[in-house]
């Protein structure tokens, strides 16, 4: 049952306007950083009232760092291989974000588990994007998992980060069809179009919810 065209998406809920004070975002990325750049572009277009204070990346040579350079956004490498534990890495992340006066943390393709050291420093203010319709297909290779399961609808989810992987409260999801000849690459590309749309909206929505208490 694949009745949606490849251009069709289902996004919920609808856009919520941001308030007057710009959000101070800290972004975490491990690889390409296309979501990072999509958020920066949404800010540039005036669709999200925010400023990206700093990008943290963990892999030397990550394309996200080159994007930050081009966008004029500070980028800090915290190479997880140089830390004795997850807690030690997360303590350095917290310190960096505090140095840059970050008040919202945006995980955009951060491929490391995070600990309460980070989560407790930004209570209910850390978001993550995952390339599946959670709670389906948690963890790594979510797109491959979806293809292997034979689902006809796939998608992406922005959610709050809690200690249990990919399990926090859902903020926004978008759905895309799985087409008969899809590979992981073609399905991932279709999902990413939606990721770039929903992540800025999810940030605005989470901030609006925080203001409402
Ligand atoms: C995105 O598709 C995101 O959903 C996924 O990594 C990709 C990063 O792309 N995240 C996860 O799988 C987290 N478990 P990007 O670097 O181009 O933004």
- Supply the CATH number for residue 98's domain: 3.40.50.170
Q: For the chain, how many structural domains are there in total? A: 1
Asked if residue 131 has its Cβ within 6 Å of ligand 1, the reply is: yes
Check pLDDT > 50 for residue 15.
no
189 falls within a domain: no
Judge whether 162 is annotated as a binding position: no
130 is catalytic: yes
81 vs 29, 111, 159, CA distance in Å? 15, 13, 27
What number of other Cβ atoms are within 10 A of residue 34's Cβ?
17
101 falls within a domain: yes
Q: How far is the CA of 104 from the centre of ligand 1 (A)?
A: 18
How far is Cα 70 from Cα 36, in angstroms, rounded to an integer?
A: 12
Check pLDDT > 70 for residue 4.
no
Asked if residue 34 has its Cβ within 6 Å of ligand 1, the reply is: yes
CA-closest residue to ligand 1 atom 12: 130
Check pLDDT > 80 for residue 144.
yes
Check pLDDT > 90 for residue 213.
no
How many residues make up the chain in this entry?
213
- Reported as a pLDDT band with limits 50, 70 and 90, residue 17 is very low
How far is Cα 104 from Cα 210, in angstroms, rounded to an integer?
A: 11
Q: How far is the CA of 109 from the centre of ligand 1 (A)?
A: 4
Residue 188 alpha carbon, nearest atom of ligand 1: 2
Residue 207: helix, strand or coil by DSSP? helix
pLDDT digits (tens, 9 = 90+) for 190-201: 999 999 999 999
What does DSSP assign to residue 16?
A: -
Asked if residue 167 has its Cβ within 6 Å of ligand 1, the reply is: no
62 falls within a domain: yes
51 falls within a domain: yes
Which pLDDT value is given to residue 138? 98
Which pLDDT value is given to residue 147? 98
164 falls within a domain: no
Buried b or exposed e, range 98-131, using 16+ CB within 10 angstroms: eebebbbbbbbbbebebbebbbebbeebbbbbbb
91 falls within a domain: yes
- Percentage of residues of the chain with pLDDT beyond 70: 91
- Reported as a pLDDT band with limits 50, 70 and 90, residue 163 is very high
Q: Tokens 């101070």 map to which residue? A: 24
pTM across the whole model:
0.92
Q: Which domain holds residue 31?
A: 21-123
- Mean pLDDT for the chain overall: 93
Which pLDDT value is given to residue 16? 44
pLDDT digits (tens, 9 = 90+) for 19-43: 578 999 999 999 999 999 999 999 9
Q: What sign results for the dihedral spanned by CA atoms 120, 124, 126, 129?
A: positive
138 falls within a domain: no
179 falls within a domain: no
pLDDT digits (tens, 9 = 90+) for 77-124: 999 999 999 999 999 999 999 999 999 999 999 999 999 999 999 999
Check pLDDT > 70 for residue 2.
no
86 vs 44, 80, 89, 165, 166, CA distance in Å? 34, 8, 5, 14, 17
Which pLDDT value is given to residue 11? 52
């Amino acid at each position: 049952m694949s009745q949606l065209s490849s251009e069709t998406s289902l996004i919920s809920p609808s856009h919520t306007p941001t308030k007057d004070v710009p959000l101070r975002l800290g972004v975490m990325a491990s690889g390409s950083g296309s979501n990072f750049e999509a958020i920066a572009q949404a800010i540039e277009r005036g669709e999200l009232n925010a400023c990206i204070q700093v990008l943290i990346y963990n892999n030397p040579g990550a394309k996200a760092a080159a994007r930050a350079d081009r966008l004029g956004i500070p980028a800090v490498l915290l190479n997880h291989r140089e830390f004795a534990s997850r807690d030690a890495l997360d303590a350095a992340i917290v310190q960096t974000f505090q140095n840059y006066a970050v008040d919202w943390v945006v995980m955009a393709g951060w491929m490391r588990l995070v600990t309460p050291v980070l989560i407790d420093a930004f209570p209910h203010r850390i978001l993550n994007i995952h390339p599946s319709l959670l709670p389906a297909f948690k963890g790594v290779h979510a797109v491959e998992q979806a293809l292997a399961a034979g689902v006809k609808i796939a998608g992406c989810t922005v959610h709050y980060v809690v200690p249990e992987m990919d399990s926090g409260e859902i903020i926004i999801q978008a759905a895309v069809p799985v087409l008969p000849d899809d590979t992981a690459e073609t399905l991932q590309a279709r999902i990413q179009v939606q990721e770039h749309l929903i992540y800025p909206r999810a940030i605005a929505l989470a901030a609006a919810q925080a203001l409402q208490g």
